[in-house]
Amino acid sequence: MKTITVSASRSYCVHIGAGLLSSLGKETAALCKPGKAAILSDSNVWPLYGKIASESLEKAGFETVNFVFPAGEASKTSAVYLNVLNFLAENHITRSDCVIALGGGVVGDMAGFVSATFLRGVPYIQVPTTLLAAVDSSVGGKTAIDLPAGKNLVGAFYQPKLVLCDTDTLTTLPEDIFRDGCAEVIKYGVLYDPQLFAHLEERGLSFDREYVISRCVELKRDVVMEDEFDTGERMRLNLGHTFGHGIEAQSHFTVSHGKAVAMGMAIVSRAAATLGVCDPQVKDRILALIHLFGLPVKTHCPAPDIYRSALSDKKRSGGTVNLIIPERIGFCRIQPTPVETLQSFLEAGL
Ligand code: NAD
Ligand code: GLY
């Protein structure tokens, strides 16, 4: 097992290793007084891991209750959010009880936002079961739900008490969803770590799970500790997301987040090489790695449509969009780009 400590507004551990789910009760008991544990999960994850999680908590002296909502982004709504709050109230959950997020990023974001707001804050523990949640969403305290106007428009920064990542749970992930998480893993290599990038080039999809997840979490930890509230360095994690979000939204979410981010990284890499910001070999390595993981490097989405969506990027400030552009493997620059030149940048990368 590997343990990484995140010291943000709250300090907490991220445990990563095989078979950890059965120690959920013991780990929770070390942080919260035995009382009630409300497990939030989705309709795919609960049948697979609900029993192990609840038995472990009960063995450690917790009374468990569970709320399971339909799997998928379509559940990250205000309606489900209110249902979960009502469920917690009906079950008399107090601030000395705890919430457990058992699932991928959708469950984690929902459970985190519920925990941030119910009774003005109850403790919660992230138990990520997708690769994306393990390397990204379970760490760093961003919690959110969606509005009809866009994804993640309502949320809070609220750090968990613990992240418990059992790498065995990733074995039941559908391959496509595992590959989606790989886009975020590649992103960390491009942003910060040539060695991680080289490991992925060498091993492809059979990369060392514990090493790669731990390294990504360490990198994210460093970013969160420097910029918990997303005013500077943290925006670098947006690599591939500005145009990726555009592609995702324009496809009405039929293109997955991971594939859209892969295409977004390919676009900025090609544009960077065309505009002389990075060596063409850097661009070639990034494109080859994305391809190696079975992720797309080209989009059929028309440039004006991607451009329009990119303008509503959350990271936009006034008349500029902060593009994250690879210079070399392991370093990307933040380039404030006037909206007037965004379209020509995009076209250079398509
Ligand atoms: P997800 O939670 O919808 O999970 C993807 C699918 O995999 C779902 O159908 C789920 O039921 C299934 N699943 C999960 N674990 C499984 C397992 N072990 N075995 C079998 N099936 C399993 O999606 P995701 O990709 O994990 O997360 C995407 C969400 O994360 C988005 O809502 C996004 O906005 C959010 N996100 C948040 C942050 C953050 O910092 N808070 C960062 C990145 C993404
Ligand atoms: N996933 C982006 C962030 O945590 O800032």
Note the pLDDT of residue 249.
Answer: 87
112/261 same-domain check:
no
92/22 same-domain check:
yes
245/308 same-domain check:
yes
Model confidence at 319, pLDDT cuts 50, 70, 90, reads confident
Q: Whose CA is nearest to atom 3 of ligand 2?
A: 237
Note the pLDDT of residue 163.
Answer: 98
Give the model confidence (pLDDT) of 237-266 as tens digits: 999 999 998 999 889 889 999 999 999 999
Model confidence at 150, pLDDT cuts 50, 70, 90, reads confident
Cβ proximity of 27 and 59 under 8 Å: no
Model confidence at 68, pLDDT cuts 50, 70, 90, reads very high
Cβ proximity of 299 and 321 under 8 Å: no
Q: Which of 3, 19, 235, 28 has its CA nearest to residue 125?
A: 28
pLDDT (mean) for 192-203: 98
Give the model confidence (pLDDT) of 154-179 as tens digits: 999 999 999 999 999 999 999 999 99
- Strand 98-103 and strand 162-166: the pairing is unpaired
What percentage of the chain has pLDDT greater than the value 90?
A: 91
Is the pLDDT reported for residue 314 higher than 70? no
Note the pLDDT of residue 313.
Answer: 67
Tell me how many domains the chain contains. Answer: 2
pTM: 0.96
Which domain-ending residue is among 172, 194, 219?
172
139 alpha carbon – ligand 2 mean position (Å)? 9
Range with the poorest average pLDDT among 112-116, 127-131, 231-235 = 231-235
304/221 same-domain check:
yes
Which domain-ending residue is among 172, 191, 212?
172
150/288 same-domain check:
no
Is the pLDDT reported for residue 315 higher than 80? no
Residues having CB closer than 6 A to ligand 1 are 42, 44-45, 48, 71-73, 76, 103-107, 109, 129-130, 132-133, 136-137, 140, 142, 151-152, 169, 172-173, 177, 180, 257
CA atoms of 35 and 93, how far apart (whole Å) = 9
CATH number reported for the structural domain that contains residue 196 in this entry: 1.20.1090.10
Which domain-ending residue is among 127, 145, 172?
172
CATH number reported for the structural domain that contains residue 127 in this entry: 3.40.50.1970
Residues having CB closer than 6 A to ligand 2 are 136, 140, 142, 230, 234, 237
What residues make up the domain containing 63? 2-172
Question: Quick one: DSSP state of residue 163?
Answer: E
CA atoms of 231 and 217, how far apart (whole Å) = 20
158/184 same-domain check:
no
